[in-house]
Structure 1
Amino acid sequence: MDHAVVQKWLRSVLGPYTDRDRVFADIDRTLIAVSSLSPKTEVFTFNDGRTQLLLNLDGTIPVNFRGNTYNIPVAYWIPRDYPREPPMAFVAPTPDMAIRKGPNVDPSGEIGGEYLRRWRNKPEACNLLDLVHDCQQMFGREPPPPYQPQHGPSSTQSPLAPGPHPYQHAINSAAGANGHSNSPTPAIVPKPKGFNLLDEEDDSSVHPHTSSAGPAPGNPSVAPPPRPINPELLALHDRLYHKIDSRLTTLSSTLSASNARLDVLSADLDRGLPAIEDELSRLKAVRDVCATTGDRLQTSVTELTDQVRSLQSREDPDPDTMVLATSIVGNQLVDLVAEDNAIEDTLYHLGRALNAERIDLEKFLKQTRVLAREQFMKRALAMKIGEGMGWA
């Protein structure tokens, strides 16, 4: 596959990782240096039962042991907090093989070693490619124990029967020069799944002639006793059961509380339905009244608009012709009242002019006597007209 395509894919799946640039750089260097490894994403199950979708580099790493090259199937899981947390390294057996405990490999296939212990203490000085090189050097000194075949009902070959080494993928040309003929060995497909502790073989299965539980020589039809259940698996099942039970209890109590709240809310809603319907009917009545009032107001506005338009179309009246009485005597009375008010205003302004010294006292007295005499006569005439019309 094109390396640029692999790099683009790596960039697209590194979202959940804390230090995406560092993870990309280390995986890219490792893929360039060890081309037999390939990246993919798979679900990893931790020892406490948690699962996470992690990057996984699986394939084979070449190991030189006693002059021959062996391809060891491995899988490197990259944690989310890489490089603060070291990768989880495993030897990946094929489906028909089991792993035995060795100096640097536990029964589940997990790889240990001094480099991983140093990584946990000083992560800034370690990287993925150096871990792969350390595994190559470690397996070159002490290779992992050979796979043991898982015996099935159709298996007829003894586990000690000679045969090609199960790790061997390609023998170098020196073997051909020594005259050895090797049958082609299929490539070992990495197994990216968890490893079953029940697959571990003890010494009694490797050396059946020394086992006290084997079948009697004289009675080959007697089946061997059943294999006891792994106590670690039982303890894991017990912890898992208690964890699931506590989680289910918590969820049950939470759901019960939620159901109680929902029941109260449902009862409140049921009680509120009649009030809502009553309020809705009142609002409908108010709407009808408002519609009727609006229609009446619209009719009044239309009538007033027509009247205003009619008044605007008429000519403006003469104010003098509007203040008229119904008879000659009435008109004479109106004139007398108007003249009386005019004389009253004139006397007022004459007093102000005297106070402001705009006229002298002699002129003020003369004009006041004239205006007072005239005002007296007009008031007397107005009173006589009022008596004659019966207003007094």
Structure 2
Amino acid sequence: MAVPQRTLTWLYSVLTKDHYDPKQTYHDPNRTYHDVANALAQYPSLSPRTDVYTYETGFSALLLHLVGTLPVNFRGTTYRFPIALWIPNTYPREPPIAYVTPTQEMTVRVGQHVTLEGQVYHHYLAHWAEAWDRSTIADLLSILQDIFAKEPPVRYRQQVPQPQSQPEHAPTPPPLPPLPPGVGSSQAQTPIPTQIASQAPPPPPPKPGANENRQPLPVDRSSLPPLPPKERGLRQTSIPGASAPIGPPGVRSPQYHAPPGHAGGPIGSPLSQPPTQQATLPQGPYYRNGAPITPQPQFTQPQPAPLPTHYQNQHPPYPANHPRPPPAAPKAETPDLLTSPFEVELPAISGPAPPIPPNPEKDTLLRAVSHSLAETLQLKAAQSDTASQSLASQSRSLHSALATLQGEISTLNSLHATLHSNTAVLQQSIQRADATIADAPPDLPPIDDVLVAPTIVGKQLYDLVAEEQGIQQALYALQAALVKGVIGVESWSKHTRSLAREALLKRALIRKIGRGMGLEESL
């Protein structure tokens, strides 16, 4: 994407501005301008500005500041992580300073390359000075994309839930119900009025083994808890409707839906304690001292039998901190299979524990990692094959070059031997010449012995040759005079004929003397 010309003009003016301080002025504005413009063209989400940066030493400087978001492909989705790059005035000798700038909804995720303050560290930045002439801002942003794709630098803040405000006019919950009359005493055998029986809670179950020496209590049919579903078809008892539940406005007391059972069975029978799964958990929260308390489901131990409908309407449920009576233990001797079908002892399971079920997320992650590793290995293998082919061709070229060099070395060795022999011959010739020069007489011969002929015939030959050369020069002079118009044609022809005749006679005499002296071949 092309950078607007207005932005480029502003950027160049900022980088080339002289602050009359070497610590405030950019040392290489042209290189900085080129790298920043290239980065802005490749990453349009970044924008330049100037801000004051304070180093760790406390020194402050007005630097070029690139802010914006960096698009990163994380798990198939493109995210834009906010970053900031500070370009120091010593760029490109020193690397840019990279920071992660999270928004208010984000927080820095400390990792291998990001500190708690958001500053980014990487091997590329640590060794920037060693290869500053080849390092650029665009390459740094590409490396940041790679490391952020593996390890995101930010994450969303965890939302803290706001506490619910207490109701202003929450009514006080009703008091706890009174304890039931003495169970097992003589008062328990007296008839209980229907109104009182409908308001009293059910008595707690007796201790294990107390059923053998105790008579069942004659209580009202409506005050007994229901039996488990086994005896549902034995007897059906209709329970009259009750008044509306008592509680705070808008809050309903928890309702437990129990199946109808035998209302006249013995209280201390183990059948009076159905399994916990027969109760449906309440949907609304409890209110204790005006504050809401959300009930938690408990399935760890059996609970007492649920209350009938008229008890639910007249009395609130027991508080959560009220101690529960201990459950009735199954009798070890002579178990009654008709009355206690749920307490039959199960055989102990001996053997190894069942295997842990597989984790689908872990399997998915392992498959993704395996797929990524396989793709990486295939890519590396392809790159290795390409590199091996190139290296093989280079090896063949080097072997051929080695053979050529060996041939040239042998040729040079033969040339060296030839030059060595020639040098020896030349040195011998020089030595002989030096010896000849040393043996030659140092005095020059007389000039007369060289110029004067030793015989009369020789002297005549010298004279004839000299005269013949003089005639030739005279003929040349006549020719030049004719051309210049100094003499006429008649005078030129007359003198030329006479001189040519004389030269012919002298040349014939020279040949004759030469034949006599044995100089015919050289003439």
Structure-1-length-normalised TM-score: 0.39
> Highest Rg: 1 or 2?
2
Which structure is richer in relative contact order (CA contacts within 8 A, separation 6 or more)? 1
Considering fraction of residues, name the structure with more helix: 1
